[in-house]
Amino acid sequence: MSILCGKNILLGISAGIAAYKTASLVRLFIKSGATVKVVMTPSSKDFITPLTLSTLSKNPVYSSFVNEEDDNAVWNNHVDLGLWADLFIIAPATANTLSKMANGVCDNLLLATYLSAKCPVYFAPTMDLDMYKHPSTLQSFEKLKAFGNIMIPATSGELASGLVGEGRMAEPEDILTFIENDILDALALRGKKVLITAGPTHEAIDPVRFIGNHSSGKMGFEIAKASANLGAEVFLVTGPTHQKVTHSLINLIPVTSAEEMYQACHTYFNDMDIAILSAAVADFKPKEVSTEKIKKSASTLRLELEKTKDILQSLGKIKTNQYLVGFALETNNELENAKDKLKRKHLNLIVLNSLNDKGAGFKSDTNKVTFIDADDNVMAFPLKSKADVAKDLLDKIINEIHA
């Protein structure tokens, strides 16, 4: 899945012959999982129709401040458009539009939206060779880059005038790749490998029954998504859960028992940069597992249990440069127990949550946690969504590993 999946992309189109390529560009953004809206300069409609772009984007196309054909004269709010966008791509960006952007001229909806945007802005120049090399155009490039805008370089080739040279707008596929790579390169966990465990484990009693717990896996899956969104390659070892994940950077490794989770973690751990073990692993398992369903022939059933392997402690013993994070779900003496676990298991960080806190723990969409690091720093957080807890956790890890 593309890093653009779930993003709001605003495509700005100015009046260059390369505008015909924007139909393909919209399709590529949509295929990547993005939501696309289009804003055009009035003159760009001479090169490609709003109807085409509206059909492809499945959204209205904006080209003026007021829809004059509408009897109610609805105002197209450039501020709302600019704030809606996660990314603003201006392609094609003509010499005229670039000059106006560089100098704060605001005489159409596209330019007003550009001046209102708070998101990253990419521009893909297109113009004839001499225009591209003109000092005023080069000055526009430099001013826009100084503003923090990102230039998608034009390529060389046959131009509309018949000349051959620089000034041809990058192809839609190349624009997509450029943006994806630019986003990924800026992500804090780009190039890192992260091992995450999630969910419960099920320890078989017989072919039908098992010992388990109420973990839903929500916390671990949120951490996996947040890690992948920061550019990490994620190895998500998950026990039985109804949670779903679709991300090209997440490798899903389903397991059932504590022993299977132990083996999977040890398979991947040596190659990891970070390991976050949020799974609720069963502490005990039946010593003997019946090969047949146990009949309900008596009023009681006696099971002999034995300890499962301590995955977190075993990784703590063999870790070299990995940043290792554990979770502690406590019901009494929470802080003391968490600090003890942090030291015994050779962790870099432990995440404490308590079943005594309303809205925290299993199954809920929220959690209330406290971070304790190896330097005995304690950071307590209010009740938050598990998605926000995941972001806080990764912010803490990133600050630690870059310190």
Catalytically annotated residues = 213
Closest to 44 in 3D by CA, of 139, 126, 158: 126
Residue spans of beta strands (DSSP E) within 72-227: 87-93, 121-125, 150-151, 155-158, 164-168, 193-198, 203-204, 210-211
Token pair of 87 as six digits: 């990314």
Distance of CA 141 to the CA centre of its chain: 30
| Six-digit token string for 132 | 């591209």
C-alpha pair distances (Å), 68 with each of 63, 65, 73: 11, 9, 6
Query: For helices 172-185 and 22-31, what crossing angle results, to 10°?
Result: 50
SS3 105: coil
* Strands 305-307 vs 284-286: parallel, antiparallel or unpaired: antiparallel
The torsion of the CA quartet 173, 2, 14, 76, rounded to 10 degrees, works out to: 160
Please state, in angstroms and rounded to a whole number, the distance separating the CA atoms of residues 337 and 353.
11
Q: What's the token pair of residue 341?
A: 């676990």
Q: Which of 205, 202, 241 is nearest to 221 (CA)?
A: 241
Q: Which helix (H) or strand (E) holds 72?
A: none
Cα distances (Å, whole numbers) of residue 49 to 15, 20, 21, 269: 12, 9, 12, 54
Distance CA 362, CA 386 (A): 11
- Pairing label, strands 366-367, 384-385: antiparallel
Q: How far apart are CA 219 and CA 198, in angstroms?
A: 7
